[in-house]
């Protein structure tokens, strides 16, 4: 009985976390395939093979990526290349990139 309650509890928690993720407004409208295409622009510089000079971003938290991109877009973080890249991304594109990079192996 305890076991069943426990499982139920876990299942509900998972559901809530999952819904929470989807409900996260920063990730609204995310489109995985679009993210894969857009990632091409990032992969010219961001690769797992090297963390030197430019960070590897594969497998990073989706929200973390989205928030960073928004900071660059608003020029609140200072790197000209990133400001340029993020400046040209809309909300859906940012969300798509965030979930795509999150899906990649670290």
- 8-16, 17-25, 39-47, 60-68 -> range binding other proteins (CB under 8 A): 39-47
3-state secondary structure of 67: helix
Q: What is the dihedral of CA 83, 102, 45, 49, to 10 degrees?
A: 150
> Min. distance of Cβ 80 from other proteins in angstroms?
4
Quickly count: other Cβ atoms within 10 Å of residue 54's Cβ: 15
Which parts of 75-94 interact with other proteins (CB under 8 A)? 79-81, 83-85, 87-88
List the structure tokens of 39. 């990632």
What is the binding site for other proteins (CB under 8 A)? 33-34, 36-38, 40-41, 43-47, 49-50, 52-54, 79-81, 83-85, 87-88
């Amino acid at each position: 009985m305890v076991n069943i309650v426990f499982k139920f509890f876990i299942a509900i928690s998972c559901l809530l976390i999952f819904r929470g993720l989807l409900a996260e407004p920063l990730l609204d409208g995310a489109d995985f395939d679009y993210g894969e295409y857009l990632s091409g622009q990032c992969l010219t510089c961001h690769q797992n093979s090297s963390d030197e000079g430019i960070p590897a971003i594969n497998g990073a938290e989706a929200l973390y990526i989205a928030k960073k991109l928004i900071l660059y877009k608003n020029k609140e973080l200072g790197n000209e290349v990133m400001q340029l890249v993020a400046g040209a991304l809309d909300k859906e594109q940012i969300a798509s990139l965030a979930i795509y990079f999150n899906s990649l192996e670290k």
